[in-house]
Structure 1
Amino acid sequence: MSRIAYERDQLRIADRHIAAAERRVLALDTHVEEQRRLGHDVSLAERVLLAMRQSLGVLLQHRELIARMVDDLRDGAVPDC
């Protein structure tokens, strides 16, 4: 497998992980709001949600690094070996 093929595969994996993380963040956010409306203490859930959003941010940064590598490989800035 060429390096660019490998990196493109990694990009697809990153995209799937990001989509899954976004779904989880949205689900928890919805749940937290519902629990808040019901008058429940959501302080712990809010901290978990913050950690999940931070993790999503790291996933997005990682995806950007992979995308740059794909671009560099495609443009010949990095040898594909």
Structure 2
Amino acid sequence: MIYRRLIGAAHAKGLLGEMGPAELARWLAAVSSHSIRVGVAQDNFAAGENLPAIMQSYRWRDPRTVLRYGAKLAVKSGASARLAKRLQE
């Protein structure tokens, strides 16, 4: 899978920071095309992209799927999270 080769190349160039062989093996075992799609959806939501644009770009058919991927991100960046951060300052 190309994702595993990209991770291996990034590791070889030192782009992943300090990482031993066992941790690299865990990363390589955990990556899948599905995890990449979830990450892409979350990155797009974090960048302020809207649902139709994300769905069109990555050929998703069901908005519920994309919204589910963005839900965990929303918990960390929603109104309650912003209020909690202000209260901690």
Superposition TM-score, scaled by structure 2 size: 0.32
Superposition TM-score, scaled by structure 1 size: 0.33
Higher helix share: 1
Larger Rg: 1
